């Protein structure tokens, strides 16, 4: 390798959260590296911090400005937090996209939905096949996870080999798709690996991970013992689990019906891409409605309590002609992602009100994680034996813990949160630059910056309510009538028991009568004064200061 060239790593997303994966690698002279991007995912908004937002992407401004240097985009697997932003951001990057068949099926649909050419997604075979991308040769190394055809990236550069795990677990009996192939991984490791960029999601889970195959018997037993209708939910993309659930239903002599668009689409994609060859027969909802409930099993979307998913709909009443009743069984074959507890419990309590028995994974019987636990991570550290570990896909606490784990395994590691550009070809690797690694919100049809203030204003209105003041001034700058106050999200009356709007209008009117001409002549001063009066008046009446919008209309002669 020429001493002018360097190998860099720059996470734009995923190294600071679980989700929103977007990792840049580069090779070449400093500032002129040729680049590749691994994954382009989303994270999901919530009412706490991102009300009204539809999706959250990594801010790709840095990469967009350098897109002439971007050779290719690689997608490790079809989860939304790895591929969900592709359709929305591709036109800003315009590089060819590589993925294996099942993943490519999803990626192409996402491109198409957002008006991009799905042909930009190229289907790629697994390792040892390699894609040439500038100075890089990139292979898709099969690995087990919770969605078919997950792959680790084997990224060969003139500075050495990188293994970028993507999401993974060590499952030799994954029910569907390729088992973890230790021999193949050893073969990849054999020539020596410079960098292991490694999933950190489950670094805090102390036990070895369990295989997908372990949940089948428990689920089958549960379904067999059920006396009325059985409804099970899981992550739509976990096709292996959906298959296990369906097989449990069949084994119990039940007809199986899939509810929820995302789940049906995943199963279709599985069939189309040739991965899913022996999925049990299902019945459509209209047919299911005619089947006695003790002979029926529904497999539904909404494991995270999403209001509009099938589970949420069923918890509130009839859906697609189907209805839950007392004595039915509802199985969460899933875990609740931190932050979704309220939504999930809302569904559970609604089911309880109907009299439905809810079974979740509290007893560790009906769900296994798709990520490598702490001992599994150590096993991969040993197997790959890299020069350095770069923890990725985790909140800061996960990355930091993974650095500690690497130290336990006598491996150096670099803590590189989003925006840290690491020079991997330096010994030891060092952070050479820190770029602004923000977030982009998809808000309706518009992409807005997280710091644009739009969401901040929404949260302020939600917390404080909104008062609108309108004032008309005539041609001479004299008030025409009295200021008018409209309120939204504020109590109608306060301490004085008079209408709040009227109290505020009286305050404003009193001010206007005494205001000096130079105040009236200056829109900014007048606006400030009116805002202050409304905020103080509201504080007196209702004990809180609302957001205030002032509209001053000056009539022209």
Q: Using CB under 8 A as the criterion, which residues of the chain lie in contact with a copy of itself when the complex forms?
A: 46-49, 51-52, 204, 338-339, 341-342, 345, 348-349, 351-353, 355, 358, 362, 395-397, 399-400, 417, 443-446, 448, 452, 454-455, 457-459, 461-466, 468, 470, 472, 480-481, 484, 486, 488-495, 541-544, 547, 549, 551, 553, 555-556
Record the tokens describing residue 258, joined without a space. Answer: 């899939």
* C-beta closer to a copy of itself: residue 130 or 352: 352
**69-85 core/surface letters (b: 16 or more CB in 10 A; e: else):** bbbbbbbbbbbbbbbbb
Record the tokens describing residue 56, joined without a space. Answer: 């959250």
- Cα 301 to Cα 23: distance, rounded to the nearest angstrom: 30
Give min distance, CB of 494 to a copy of itself, in A.
6
Give min distance, CB of 205 to a copy of itself, in A.
9
* C-beta closer to a copy of itself: residue 95 or 450: 450
* C-beta closer to a copy of itself: residue 162 or 351: 351
Tell me the Cα Rg of the chain: 28
* C-beta closer to a copy of itself: residue 25 or 44: 44
CB 79 within 8 A of CB 106: no
Record the tokens describing residue 203, joined without a space. Answer: 């670094």
Give min distance, CB of 177 to a copy of itself, in A.
31
Give min distance, CB of 43 to a copy of itself, in A.
13
* C-beta closer to a copy of itself: residue 284 or 491: 491
Side by side, the strands of the sheet bearing 97-99 are: 121-123, 97-99, 70-74, 34-38, 22-29, 5-13, 420-423, 430-434
- HSE value, Cβ hemisphere, 13 Å, CA-based, for 452: 16
* C-beta closer to a copy of itself: residue 32 or 307: 307
CB 290 within 8 A of CB 117: no
* C-beta closer to a copy of itself: residue 447 or 519: 447
Output the DSSP codes for 421-454. Answer: EEETTSSS-EEEEE----EEEEETTEEEETTSSH
* C-beta closer to a copy of itself: residue 29 or 543: 543
SS3 annotation, 253-309: CCEEEEECHHHHHHHHHHHHCCCCCCCCCCCCHHHHCCCCHHHEEEEECCCCCCCCC
Give min distance, CB of 363 to a copy of itself, in A.
8
Give min distance, CB of 351 to a copy of itself, in A.
8
Give min distance, CB of 91 to a copy of itself, in A.
14
Q: Which residues contact 194 (CB under 8 A, 6 or more apart)?
A: 7, 159, 160, 161, 162, 386, 387, 388, 424
Record the tokens describing residue 372, joined without a space. Answer: 């490598």
Give min distance, CB of 445 to a copy of itself, in A.
3
- Cα 178 to Cα 144: distance, rounded to the nearest angstrom: 6
């Amino acid at each position: 390798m020429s001493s002018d060239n360097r190998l860099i790593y720059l996470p734009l997303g995923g190294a600071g959260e679980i989700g929103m994966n977007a990792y840049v690698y580069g090779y070449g002279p400093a500032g002129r590296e040729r680049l590749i991007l691994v994954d382009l995912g989303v994270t999901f908004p919530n009412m706490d911090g991102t009300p009204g937002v539809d999706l959250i992407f990594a801010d790709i401004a840095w990469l967009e400005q350098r897109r002439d240097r971007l050779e290719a985009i690689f997608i490790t697997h079809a989860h939304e937090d790895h591929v969900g932003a592709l359709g929305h951001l591709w036109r800003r990057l315009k590089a060819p996209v590589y993925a294996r068949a099942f993943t490519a099926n999803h990626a192409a649909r996402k491109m198409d939905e957002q008006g991009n050419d799905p042909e930009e997604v190229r289907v790629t075979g697994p390792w040892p096949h390699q894609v040439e991308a500038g100075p890089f040769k990139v292979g898709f190394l099969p690995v087990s996870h919770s969605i078919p055809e997950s792959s680790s990236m084997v990224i060969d550069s003139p500075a050495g080999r990188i293994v970028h795990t993507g999401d993974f677990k060590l499952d030799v009996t994954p029910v569907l798709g390729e088992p973890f192939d230790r021999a193949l991984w050893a073969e990849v490791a054999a020539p020596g690996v410079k960098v292991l960029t490694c999933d950190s999601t489950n670094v805090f889970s102390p036990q070895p991970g369990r295989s997908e195959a372990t949940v089948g018997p428990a689920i089958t037993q549960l379904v067999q013992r059920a006396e009325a209708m059985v409804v099970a939910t899981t992550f739509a993309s976990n096709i292996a689990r959906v298959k296990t659930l369906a097989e449990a239903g069949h084994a119990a002599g039940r007809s199986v019906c899939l509810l929820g668009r995302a789940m049906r689409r995943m199963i279709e994609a599985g069939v189309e891409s040739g991965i899913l060859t022996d999925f049990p027969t299902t019945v459509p909802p209209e047919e299911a409605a005619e089947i006695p409930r003790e002979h029926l099993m529904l497999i539904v979307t909404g494991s995270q309590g999403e209001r509009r998913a099938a589970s949420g709909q069923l918890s509130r009443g009839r859906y697609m002609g189907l209805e839950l009743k007392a004595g039915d069984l509802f199985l969460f074959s899933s875990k609740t992602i931190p932050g979704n507890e309220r939504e999930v419990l809302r569904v559970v309590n609604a089911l309880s009100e109907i009299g439905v028995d809810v079974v979740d994974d509290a007893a560790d019987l009906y769900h296994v994680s798709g990520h490598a636990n702490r001992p599994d991570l150590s096993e991969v550290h040993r197997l790959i034996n890299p020069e350095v570990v770069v923890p990725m896909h985790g909140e800061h606490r996960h990355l930091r813990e993974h650095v500690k784990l690497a130290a336990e395994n006598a491996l150096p590691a670099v803590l590189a949160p989003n925006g840290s550009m690491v020079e991997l070809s330096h010994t030891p690797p060092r952070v050479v630059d820190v770029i602004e690694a923000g977030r982009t919100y998809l808000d309706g049809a518009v992409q807005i910056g997280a710091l644009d203030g739009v969401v901040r204003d929404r949260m302020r209105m939600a917390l404080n309510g909104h008062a609108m003041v309108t004032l008309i001034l005539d041609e001479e700058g004299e008030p025409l009538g009295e200021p008018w106050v409209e309120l939204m999200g504020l109590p109608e009356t306060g301490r004085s028991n008079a209408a709040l709007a009227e109290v505020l209008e009286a305050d404003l009117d009193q001010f206007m009568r005494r205001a000096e001409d130079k105040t009236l002549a200056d829109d900014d001063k007048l606006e400030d004064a009116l805002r202050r009066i409304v905020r103080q008046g509201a504080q007196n009446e209702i004990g809180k200061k609302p957001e205030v919008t002032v509209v001053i209309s000056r009539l022209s002669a």
